[in-house]
Structures are given as structure tokens and as C-alpha cells.
Amino acid sequence: MNEQGIMAKLYFRYGAVGSAKTLNLLAVAHNYRQQNKRILILKPALDTRFGANQVRSRAGLEQEADIVLGSNDMIDETKLAGVDCLLVDECQFLESRVIDQLRFITTEYRVPVICYGLRTDFKRRLFSGSQRLLELADAIEEVKTTCAFCNKKAVYNLKMVDGFAVGPDSQGPVVELGCEEKYLPSCAGCYDAKILESASR
């Protein structure tokens, strides 16, 4: 139970690739610890870009996750004793039933849960974890960044293969881990323009 028994909230903080979501998560973790409060960091096992247990921002800050969930795993709720906040990285890769459990944790254990992740894949379709968060979260907040090609706000994640944009009709895998060399933040106009440019090459 959090301080004074106040009802905890489930937060979904989403943004395009490169919007400093993980940096934000690590900053929140630091702030809690500065106040001598206990936090847990959770990540999906699918995200192995920086190591099986590492949560790392593009700015280079990193920390080891306390909980790593495989596709068939659920959160061990015995670990929540005395926890002041649960922070979740790359939440889009979590199964819908895990999001349901996060909702349960906020209401039954009164532990705030803050989830960070992408809203949609490069085909502009909702990830299942993100969809469930949009359905269940108490607070939905956008972490903003600008388009890689202009100064407008980025709303999509543009996938690049050999320097060319890949369109939503691509037959390739929806989930393919990568950083700046694979995905770029894009506004709607540049998303369409880059795909058209690649299609006409």
C-alpha cells in the first residue's frame, strides 16, 4: 500500500522511437531512490538490444532490470512487498494478460505503475500491450519528439532497411529489434513521403 492509502494509478507514457522514454524512466527511478523509496524496474525478455537484463537509454544511462518477463510469464506479486512504484520499460511487448495484472497491482496492492513504450509498430498498428494500456490506463501521456526529417512532431516509427523506408504493406516481421539504424521518428507527412520515395527508386 502506498503512503496514506491513496489509490494508485496505472500510467501509459508513450512516444515515437527516440523520444527519451527510457531516459525518463531512469530519471523517475533516480528520483524515487533519492527519497529513499523502493522501486522495481520490469522489462520484457524480448528486448535484448543491450543485454538480457539491461535497461538502457540511447543517452547511455543504464540499469539492471529487477524483473524480466518472458512471453509466458506473469509478475511474481510476492516481490511487491514494500515497493513504492513499479516502472515498466518497452511495455508494448508485454502480453495483454500482463497489462491486466498491472491494472490489478494498482488497485489491489496500491502500487503506482508507470509504463513506457511505443504506441504503434512501423505499420502504424497498435502493439497488443499498448492497446490494452490505452483501454485500461488511468493516465495516458505522450512523450514528444520531433521528426527525423523535419521539425514537426513525430507520431510514427519509420522502419529503414539498407537506407530505404519500408512501408506498411511490407511482408517482413513486425517486431525486429534495432536502434537509430533501423527505426526513425517521423511525422505523418514525412512517413508517406519517404515510403513513396523508396517505392519509386
d(Cα 98, Cα 69) in Å, to the nearest integer?
9
User: Active-site residue among 3, 90, 108, 141?
Assistant: 90
Question: CA 182 to CA 162: how far, in whole Å?
Answer: 9
Q: Cell 512501423: give the residue.
A: 122
90 is a catalytic site residue = yes
Burial of 78 (0-12, 13-18, 19+ CB in 10 A): exposed
Contacts of 98 (CB under 8 A, 6+ apart): 69, 73, 74, 75, 129
**Measured between alpha carbons, how far is 201 from 4 in angstroms, rounded to an integer?**
62
Active-site annotation, residues: 90
